[in-house]
Amino acid sequence: MMGDPIKLRKKYNSPRKPWDKSRIVAENELIEKYGLSSKREVWVAKTMLRRKRISARNLFAAKPELLESGKKRLIESLTKQGILSSDATLDGVLALNVEDFLERRLQTLVYRRGLANTIKQARQFIVHGWIEVNGHKVKAPSALIAKEDEEKIRYYKGVKPKILDVRMDAPELQKSKLQKETAKEDTENGTEKDAEDAVENNENLEEVVEWKLQW
């Protein structure tokens, strides 16, 4: 029987030890480095890695006539995604790690190519439809981009997001900051001036009192 067409198939396997501290720390570092929305995106990448490793191990135990054809298909699929080179071996597949897959995500490539100032901004651009791949708008930050399409990642219809032109040292912000600093200096200067005036007035008063006593 076919599955429910409405309910999507789960694309990842949850950790067997949900409270493993070392795993949690490592996943949090990946989330911060690649601007991921949740640990599920890490688990998806780990699941893809696990499946490729299982395929490589199964090929080691396969018959010679099936080994070469299976190896060729596996290496070609990873080469097309830009994860491995064309001259890689099955040992190279077993040596892959989760970051090799995270580096091929559209979000990561948008940031690496300088289309966004930060990895999280890259995700925002993709979700809001500012990025296209090979002329087609792609709104999935987790999409794995083929090596041949990497050079075709650009702003949608060539329109650069205006948010890139906004900087924290914009004239309005600098003006506001300057006004605050000026007001602070005026307050401090005003306080010092008042103190000097008070001293001067006291000195004048003492001179008047002394003159009157002499008179």
Instruction: Give yes or no: residues 34 and 79 share one domain.
Output: yes
* pLDDT for 162: 81
Q: Say if CB 86 and CB 75 are below 8 A apart.
A: yes
Give the 3-state secondary structure percentages of the chain, helix then strand then coil, rounded to 5.
Answer: 65, 5, 30
My answer on whether 115 and 185 are in the same domain is no
In angstroms, the CA 185 to CA 123 distance is: 42
pLDDT given at position 180: 58
Q: Are residue 66 and residue 123 in the same domain, yes or no?
A: no
- Estimate to the nearest angstrom the gap between the alpha carbon of 142 and the chain centroid: 12
Backbone φ, ψ for residue 144 (5° rounding): -85, 125
Q: Are residues 32 and 49 in the same domain?
A: yes
At 170 the pLDDT is: 46
Same domain, 92 and 68: yes
The reply to whether 18 and 32 lie within a common domain is yes
Name residues whose C-beta falls within 8 Å of residue 50's C-beta, 6 or more positions apart in sequence: 13
Q: Are residues 24 and 88 in the same domain?
A: yes
| CATH number of the domain enclosing 111 | 3.10.290.10
Domain residue limits at 149: 105-165
The total number of structural domains that make up the chain: 3
Q: Are residues 9 and 68 in the same domain?
A: yes
Q: What is the pLDDT of residue 11?
A: 73
Low-confidence ranges of the chain (pLDDT < 50): 1, 168-171, 173-175, 195, 198-199, 205, 207-215
